[in-house]
Homo-oligomer: A and B are copies of this chain.
């Protein structure tokens, strides 16, 4: 949520000279993206986002991320696309960082999604899954079951600093998820971070999905489980079954779920809540004083995890 790497006027002019996008008219750092530096750049031709990839992004993953965005745009998905320079390259180096010029996606993210937004999200997610099916690169999900075990170990005894008894809760849940994590479900490329701030709407219609920097290969319905956590709980912590229903129905208008996928929804939602609980707890325990990133409280995802643990039937998510 900050400009980590300043780029000055001379540097941006020299950088943009490598593209066929006209002359720079305006260039401002924006408070978007938790992990990278983003600028909004207006040229005599159009608006763009210039992203400089900071240290939490592995440069080796960038061909996957940028290639995926490019692939999705060519398949008709509304997402921002990397722009080619005059030599056809999309990945650059600017101010010592890997960098890419990205097309500008209009729209605004919605803080408090309504039922209709959940339906549109489900549909867009399924369209993205289908469109990505023939993308030829793959990326392992570093934040799946094995990755969680690492985070559990790193948080260790300190978990109880966030909440008494949290360490035990993490160990028990980790053991449960390891023992019950589903296999044999349809896999493919998932977005893996489709929170409301990564989904744009304009005039009441979903206008695009952004921020593919957690995208990876994993169980497709796990992506839906992440959205269930991020979109279908109310501010007071209650799960809104109507929103869950709309999310699932929107998804199934494009890609119907199998019985096995529906049965796995509860454990996948547990896993998704666990994944965000762990990463938030880790960031919370390892806050850097004076850092420009706002650390999110892990409590929200403890409560969500407990909700999913108590689910006995997938109909509680709105499945019909």
A12 contacts the other chain (CB 8 A): yes
B42 adjacent to A8 (CB under 8 Å):
no
A9 adjacent to B110 (CB under 8 Å):
yes
A108 adjacent to B31 (CB under 8 Å):
no
Report the stretch among A22-30, A133-141, A184-192, A260-268 that lies at the interface.
Answer: A22-30
Chain B's nearest CB lies how many Å from the CB of A286? 15
Chain B's nearest CB lies how many Å from the CB of A253? 24
Chain B's nearest CB lies how many Å from the CB of A291? 8
B292 adjacent to A8 (CB under 8 Å):
no
Q: Write the A1-18 contact mask toward B (1 if CB under 8 angstroms, else 0).
A: 111000011101000000
B26 adjacent to A30 (CB under 8 Å):
no
Chain B's nearest CB lies how many Å from the CB of A34? 13
Given A47-B42, A202-B25, A290-B290 in contact, is the A8-B111 Cβ separation under 8 Å? yes
Q: Which residues of B contact A111 (CB under 8 A)?
A: 8-10
A88 contacts the other chain (CB 8 A): no
Tell me the complex Cα distance, A29–B28, Å.
Answer: 10
A292 adjacent to B292 (CB under 8 Å):
yes
A76 contacts the other chain (CB 8 A): no
Please give the number of chain A residues whose Cβ is less than 8 angstroms from any Cβ of chain B in the complex.
34
Q: Which residues of B contact A40 (CB under 8 A)?
A: 28, 30, 40
B8 adjacent to A110 (CB under 8 Å):
yes
Tell me the complex Cα distance, A109–B10, Å.
Answer: 10
A296 contacts the other chain (CB 8 A): no
B289 adjacent to A26 (CB under 8 Å):
no
Tell me the complex Cα distance, A104–B108, Å.
Answer: 19
Given A2-B31, A10-B112, A30-B31 in contact, is the A25-B292 Cβ separation under 8 Å? no
The chain B residue sitting closest to A203, CB to CB, is B23
Q: Which residues of B contact A24 (CB under 8 A)?
A: 108, 202
B12 adjacent to A108 (CB under 8 Å):
yes
A201 contacts the other chain (CB 8 A): yes
A32 contacts the other chain (CB 8 A): yes
The chain B residue sitting closest to A27, CB to CB, is B108
- Please provide the chain A residues from 105 to 149 with a CB less than 8 Å away from any CB of chain B in the complex: 106-112
Chain B's nearest CB lies how many Å from the CB of A206? 13
25 A-B pairs, CB-CB below 8 angstroms? A1-B3, A2-B31, A3-B31, A8-B110, A8-B112, A9-B108, A9-B109, A9-B201, A10-B112, A24-B202, A25-B106, A25-B202, A26-B47, A26-B104, A26-B106, A26-B107, A27-B108, A28-B30, A28-B32, A29-B31, A30-B30, A30-B40, A31-B31, A289-B290, A290-B290
- Give the 8 A-B residue pairs with the shortest CB-CB distance, closest first: A29-B31, A8-B111, A9-B108, A25-B106, A28-B30, A3-B31, A9-B110, A27-B108
Given contacts A2-B292, A3-B31, A8-B112, 6 further A-B contacts (CB under 8 A): A9-B201, A12-B108, A23-B202, A29-B30, A29-B32, A40-B40
